[in-house]
Amino acid sequence: MSYKSILVETKNRVGVITINRPKAMNALNGQVMSEMVAALQAFDADDAIGAMVLTGNERAFAAGADIKEMSGKSASDMFKGSFVDAWDDIRKIKKPIIAAVSGWALGGGSELAMLCDMIVASETAKFGQPEINLGIIPGAGGTQRLTRAVGKAIAMEMVLNDRKLSAEEALAYGLVNRVVPAERYLDEAISLAQAIAERAPVAAQIGKEAVNQAFETSLTEGVYVERRLFNFLFATEDQSEGMAAFIEKRKANWQGR
């Protein structure tokens, strides 16, 4: 499939998707989002891929939803349309996704990074939810995922008063996994994705599902879900292989089934 607003490549077992609207600070219009979802779904269905990296350019991961595209819309347009459906579709991707963030991650851009399973940030990364400046609030999960990630106090400042977080602050508040020099952030994200992609594929996907359950359920229900997923993995060839490899002191040869 050919894309107009994203670039797609593979590096070993990693699928890399680059948002490519540099003149618009990678603003997320309908085309970017639908192409991104299509590319992620294609990688999700491809057994040769174990994890994905989502990135932008050095100046901007993404400066949010496309304000020019949204500006003329009415409430009923927004209600009837599928504006934020793409973010929900990304949530349904089973394989791990790592955001490689440099420069601005604002509004829907920050929400997109938070939808990923891990964030590798360049020292130049800046995270923010500036929707208040437009007379709106975050609409793609920002008020919820940000609050779970950084806590109520910081989330309130960001959503109500456009407080931006530097990369170091984002690390301190637990929003990102690691901060690396600008020239290395993408390589770092790809090598982290490759390391995960070399692990037991079904267990990696199930592990993602189990951790995400922690945000959806009570502790009792979450532990119950975890137990069922844990038990299920004993039906996989990879469980037999992984345990045999440990006992035989050799490297496991994962089959992904």
Note whether 107 binds ligand CAA by CB under 6 A: yes
For the window 24-53, what string marks contact with ligand CAA as x by the rule CB under 6 A?
Answer: xx-x--------------------------
The backbone torsions φ and ψ at residue 221, rounded to the nearest 5 degrees and listed phi first, read: -65, -40
Q: Say whether 9 sits in a helix, a strand or coil.
A: strand
Note whether 127 binds ligand CAA by CB under 6 A: no
- Of the candidates 38, 42, 67, 229, which one interacts with ligand CAA according to CB under 6 A? 67
Give residue 82's identity as a one-letter amino acid code.
S
Task: Please say if 81 is a catalytic residue.
Answer: no
- Enclosing H/E stretch for 104: strand 104-106
CA distance 57 to 39: 18
Task: Please say if 65 is a catalytic residue.
Answer: yes
Give residue 36's identity as a one-letter amino acid code.
M
- Of the candidates 6, 37, 65, 100, which one interacts with ligand CAA according to CB under 6 A? 65
User: Helix 152-161 crosses helix 142-150 at what angle (to 10 degrees)?
Assistant: 140
Task: Please say if 108 is a catalytic residue.
Answer: yes
Identify the CA nearest to 7 among candidates 19, 15, 21.
19
Note whether 131 binds ligand CAA by CB under 6 A: yes
Residues noted as catalytic: 65, 108, 111, 131
Residues in touch with ligand CAA (CB under 6 A): 24-25, 27, 63-68, 104, 106-108, 111, 130-131, 133-134, 138-140, 142
